[in-house]
């Protein structure tokens, strides 16, 4: 079956530090990959996505590259801000899954950015 593994948090960084949150996946088909962000007390927001190998998704200074050879989709940001403090979820959606748009989520990684 499909699965997503993320690094456990919390990840605590100082403002302007470099961020990496690791994400690896296992899928039987050809998945699309996503990063969602959840700010305290809110629902999930799509941060970025990639639909095929070597695609790079980017948004708000965050980037992630779909690496099929390492089955990874690591999230990076060059300089984090206090406002980036949130929980980040890596997720996949398998095109060959009869259930279509079912998302398989990783466990989530809490990021705390200190001033």
DSSP for 29-88, written as a single string: S-EEEEEEEE-TTS-EEEEEEE-STT-EEEETTEEEE-BTTTTB--EEESS--GGG-EEE
Closer CB to other proteins, 19 or 106, in the complex? 106
Site for other proteins, rule CB under 8 A: 31-32, 34, 36, 41-46, 49, 51, 89, 93-95, 97, 99-103, 105-108
Identify which of residues 78 and 107 has a Cβ nearer to other proteins in the complex: 107
User: Which residue's CB is nearer to other proteins, number 29 or number 78?
Assistant: 29
Could you identify the residue written with the tokens 């999230």?
Answer: 75
Min dist CB 18 to other proteins, Å, is 25
- Shortest reach from residue 17's CB to other proteins, in Å: 23
**Which of 66, 76, 75 has the alpha carbon at shortest distance from 27?**
66
């Amino acid at each position: 079956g499909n699965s997503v593994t993320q690094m456990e948090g919390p990840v605590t960084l100082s403002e302007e530090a470099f961020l990496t949150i690791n994400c690896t996946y296992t899928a039987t088909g050809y998945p699309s990959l996503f990063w969602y962000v959840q700010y305290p007390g809110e629902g999930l927001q799509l941060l970025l996505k990639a639909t095929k190998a070597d695609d790079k998704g980017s948004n708000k200074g965050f980037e992630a590259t779909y690496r099929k050879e390492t089955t990874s989709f690591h999230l990076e940001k060059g300089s984090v801000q206090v406002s980036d403090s949130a929980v980040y979820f890596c997720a996949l959606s398998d095109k060959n899954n009869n259930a279509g748009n079912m998302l398989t989520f990783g466990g989530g990684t809490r990021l705390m950015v200190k001033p």
